[in-house]
A and B are shown apart, each in its own frame.
Chain A
């Protein structure tokens, strides 16, 4: 990442202050400076964020855009599927629930491979030309997190529905209205479900690396940038990017919490 030069110009690294954390071995000057590496990474992370480096903000923005879009698609599909399965009885329902729960553990790299084979020019949807675009990354992450949203919302809605079942049946409420009512009542729990999905999406690297290609200024996101810096051996910068990524996740989680608590206050006021 070209952010590097700017960062090092910005940093007047007073490293001696951290050197006390190093354990020096007799034969090398370098020693084990693990704590020192952590300290430097935190400094780097801070310097990166305040530097306002355009490359970094582009990568952060793309990460958030891709994962939020995937989350939106997954919530629409997953809440609908989860609620439908929770509220209806049909043959093979147990199998569907087992499948939902199993696919929560989909390996990202396998999802990436399947999407690659589908979107590749040689694949069935190759003519769309979507491989190595952010759209391909959204598709891969949507496949990855929809089962999480569906499986968790199915459980939550089913538990809640137990309390309403008799009432709905006595009033002959149609299924789609029952679905809407239960989804609305479960909204606070479902925000946590959505956050679980978002966490999985923004943190995964295996799928977006394959279908996005980690192309500079086009499909590079935080996790693929971290993998790249690690492979360049720049562990301090890689860890610094990891700290920035965690900070983004924290900001999103805090925003969701404040939204839901504000809403709850207004509801009970």
Chain B
């Protein structure tokens, strides 16, 4: 008798879950956006999506991973729209026919944050490559994403510009966490390392400790986000109409204004720069 009661509890759970799947799958007016942790963690989508849903009735489901993984997922046809920040990789994605066209959507910038003791003496400077050269030269700890994300790609480009070979320092002063921006900040702050991060994640980050922005304001720290509709010819499962209306709305005057109006602690996190037609 106990077993039958236990079974009925389990059966009820199963039925409940079945109903849940029914709801999830009946909701055809939904799309999947493959995007980055920086946009999702800052709360940008919590701000944008309700506005878009009210206007169109379309539910946007955001999968937030690193740019590298987002592009890979989109190549596997597991998303309708790609919204990431690594222009070269995005253009490669388009050139290989996985989607397109790619349009500039918005920007902000990267910064290097560091401990108040500033062991490499870079605080308050603006030349990113020079600062990174000094960090490497002083063997100061640097926590890298190491995950092929947009931020990681930017960081690698900066090391190249600085003429530093990080492979030699890997595991010593150069610490690759292989994880998301937030996890890398948690680890970097925990070990007293410098970290390259996008400004939106930094402003919304809650575990800053006594860390401060060390380097900011360099042209090379520019961070451009782009948006791409996945190609229906390569991926028949793509909901091209719904995806296109999301892309169109983001690029429209209304969408651009919604992006600009997203603020945290009175600071604007993303600056719309879609081309005006």
Q: A residues near B, CB below 8 A? A: 2, 27-28, 30, 62, 64-66, 68-69, 71-72, 75, 120-123, 126, 129, 131-135, 138, 184, 187, 191, 213-216, 218, 228, 230-235, 255-256, 259-260, 262-264, 266
Asked whether any CB of chain A lies closer than 8 Å to the CB of B139, the reply is: no
Q: Which of B2, B37, B208, B210 contacts A233, CB < 8 Å?
A: B208
In the complex, A24→B210 CA distance in Å? 13
Does any Cβ of A come within 8 Å of B206's Cβ? yes
Q: For A135, list chain B residues within 8 Å (CB).
A: 21
Closest to A135 in B: B21
Q: List 18 A-B residue pairs with CB atoms under 8 Å apart, sorted by A's residue number.
A: A2-B46, A28-B210, A65-B17, A68-B10, A120-B73, A122-B78, A123-B76, A126-B77, A131-B78, A133-B25, A187-B2, A230-B186, A231-B37, A232-B206, A233-B207, A233-B208, A235-B206, A262-B2
Interface size class of B (residues with CB under 8 A): 35 or more
A123, B3: Cα distance in complex, Å: 39
Say whether, besides A213-B63, A214-B63, A215-B62, A121 and B77 are in contact (CB < 8 Å). yes
What residues of B have a CB within 8 angstroms of the CB of A235 in the complex?
Answer: 186, 206-207
Q: How far is the CA of A75 from the CA of B7 in the complex (A)?
A: 11
- Residues in B neighbouring A72, C-beta threshold 8 A: 10-11, 13-14
Decide if B16 touches A65 in the complex (CB within 8 Å). yes
Q: Which B1-58 residues have C-beta < 8 A from chain A?
A: 1-3, 5-6, 9-11, 13-14, 16-17, 20-21, 24-25, 32, 37, 41, 45-46
Which 8 A-B pairs give the minimum distances between C-beta atoms?
Answer: A263-B2, A231-B182, A233-B207, A121-B77, A68-B13, A213-B63, A122-B76, A233-B206
Binding site secondary structure of chain B: helix
Residue from the set B16, B76, B116 with the largest chain A CB neighbour count within 10 Å: B76
